[in-house]
Amino acid sequence: VTRESLEAPAAASPAAWARALLDAQAAAGLLRVPRTRHGGSGSHAVVDGRHVTVFSSNDYLGLAAHPAVRAAAAEAARTAGAGSTGSRHLSGCHASINALESELAAFEGAETATIAPSGYAANVATLQALGGPDAVILSDERNHASIIDGCRLSRAHVEVFAHADLDDLERRLRRSTARSIIVSDSVFSVDGTIADVAGLAELAHRHGAWLVLDEAHATGVLGPGGRGAAAAAGIDPRDDTVVRVVTMSKALGAGGAAVCASATVRGVLLQRGRALIFSTALPHPTVAAARAALTTLRENPDLVDHLRANVATLRGALDELDPTGAAEVPIVPLLTGDPHLASRLEASLLERGHLVQAVRPPTVPTGTSRLRLTVSAAHTTEELQALAADIVELSAAA
Ligand SMILES: Cc1ncc(COP(=O)(O)O)c(C=O)c1O
């Protein structure tokens, strides 16, 4: 299931082992060095002393710095406090968390929504709670790291099917004699592609399997009013074999995630989902921010249309470079193959005032390094066109 990072050679001491690991990553052009950003969460920031437009965040609707969302978070901190003081099992479930769960469930048309501290925790908790030694989990080979880790923690037998290959998935389902759980990203976060959600659901039904969908990059982006890829594919939101992980950390601009599922699955999560039982619940300002963001999205579905128009503008302006990914997805990958070239382009674009992200192994398979551009409803047409013009010019010179 894994794309492991480079292994360091055996070394004389623990510290020497760690040094050798970092040296090996650096020599391969794979060292991750986060940049320091000033100026908050809007689409403009100061990075390495330079004023930039941000094309690398997951704030697809521009809600992270929206006035109503900021005001709600500030008010919650003033009236309720900062931290939630414990998990819901330990110190009581704050009523605001129950309210957010009801609002999210209503928005998604689901029977229930159960909040986890992050999308990462929601995926891990779901797979570990539904899994077990009597289960087989069938996982797309390009699934997010949190799904891979959830598979590992589930103690289930894990089968990795070829990316988006429903024939391979079905062959494996036919062979399986155990209880089956299919799991897939609905939008693949570094490829910008959309899973065949209807096909996955059909296979799940035919083979009596659960279908777990990670809607992290589909919520607020795809489907009617931003209700996600399952909604776009016409999946009944009350289908009790489908479990959808919806994050509030990306298009909703806040933090945390919710597992949208039947009341029975919620019950199982609250008994067995260790990543949400043994972790502090979301802080009050985050809950309030997510509620305000959801209200803003519900009342302004044109935000999603505006995002789609911006995506079309950037993809159109980059046409000659053949961006990959689905037309309506705001993740726009430009393949370079070579990790050094991806990093050089990232640095040159930063000098010109555009913050973009180079994605390299082990996040993506060797030979498929890329620039990952993300579009927001907060970007102006001029900003999108300026980014595209600079990328076209720098790529021609590279
Ligand atoms: C596909 C996918 N799933 C889950 C997550 C984790 O979500 P969170 O950042 O809320 O932990 C991410 C974010 O990195 C993601 O891209």
Query: Tens digits of per-residue pLDDT, 229-268?
Result: 999 999 999 999 999 999 999 999 999 999 999 999 999 9
Q: What does the CA dihedral 353, 328, 66, 251 come to, rounded to 10 degrees?
A: -100
Does the pLDDT at position 31 exceed 50?
A: yes
- What number is the average pLDDT over the span 175-198? 97
Mean pLDDT of the residues in the chain = 95
The pLDDT assigned to 82 comes to 97
Dist. CA 119 → ligand 1 center (Å): 5
Is 27 a residue whose pLDDT tops 70? yes
In the chain, what percentage of residues exceed pLDDT 70?
97
Tokens 């024939």: give the residue.
167
For the segment 5-20, the average pLDDT, to the nearest whole number, is 76
The rounded Å distance from CA 291 to ligand 1 centre is 19
Quick check: pTM over 0.85? yes
- Are 211 and 240 spatial neighbours (Cβ–Cβ below 8 Å)? no
Atom of ligand 1 nearest to the CA of 144: 1
Question: How many whole angstroms from 177 Cα to the centroid of ligand 1?
Answer: 31
Our separate counts of H helices and E strands in the chain read 15, 14
Closest atom of ligand 1 to 123 CA is 4
User: Which atom of ligand 1 lies nearest, measured to the CA of 187?
Assistant: 1
Mean predicted confidence (pLDDT) in 349-369: 93
Residue 395 banded pLDDT, cuts 50, 70, 90? very high
Q: Read off the pLDDT of each residue in 41-61 and give the average, rounded to a whole number.
A: 96
CA 116 from chain centre, in angstroms, equals: 14
Q: What is the mean pLDDT of residues 302-324?
A: 97
Ligand 1 atom closest to the Cα of residue 146 is: 4
Task: Indicate if 250 belongs to the active site.
Answer: yes
The residues lining ligand 1, judged by C-beta closer than 6 Å to any ligand atom, are 118-120, 123, 144, 146, 185, 189, 214, 216-217, 247, 249, 257
Q: Of residues 66, 250, 284, 354, which has the active-site annotation?
A: 250
Chain segment 117-149, per-residue pLDDT in tens: 999 999 999 999 999 999 999 999 999 999 999
**Is the model's pLDDT at 9 over the cut of 80?**
no
More reliable by pLDDT, 322 or 4: 322
The per-residue pLDDT for 7 is: 60
63-72: average pLDDT: 98
The answer for 228, left when phi > 0, alpha when psi is -120 to 50, beta otherwise, is left
Is residue 137 within 8 Å of 301, Cβ to Cβ? no
Q: Cβ(127)–Cβ(212) under 8 Å? A: yes
- Which of these, 241, 280, 276, lies nearest to 120 by C-alpha position? 276
Q: Give pLDDT, residue 32.
A: 84
Contact yes or no for 375/312 (Cβ under 8 A): no
Residue 30 has a pLDDT of 78
- Please say if 217 is a catalytic residue: yes
**Is pLDDT above 60 for 151?**
yes
pLDDT at 113: 98
pLDDT at residue 5 tops 60: no
CA distances in angstroms from 150 to 76, 80, 136, 139, 195, listed in the order given: 32, 33, 13, 10, 19
- Give me the sign of the Cα torsion angle 79, 84, 88, 89: negative
CA–CA distance from 9 to each of 2, 33, 363 (Å)? 19, 22, 21
Q: Whose CA is nearest to atom 9 of ligand 1?
A: 119
Mean of pLDDT values over 282-305: 98
pLDDT at 332: 98
| Catalytic-residue membership of 84 | no
pLDDT band at 3 (very low <50, low <70, confident <90, very high): very low
Q: How far apart are the first and last CA of the chain?
A: 34
- The closest residue, in CA terms, to atom 10 on ligand 1 is 119
User: Alpha helix (H) ranges present in the chain?
Assistant: 14-27, 67-80, 88-91, 95-108, 119-130, 145-154, 166-175, 197-206, 229-232, 263-272, 274-277, 284-299, 302-317, 339-351, 381-397
Please check the confidence at residue 1 and state whether its pLDDT lies above 50: no
Q: What is the mean pLDDT of residues 206-221?
A: 98
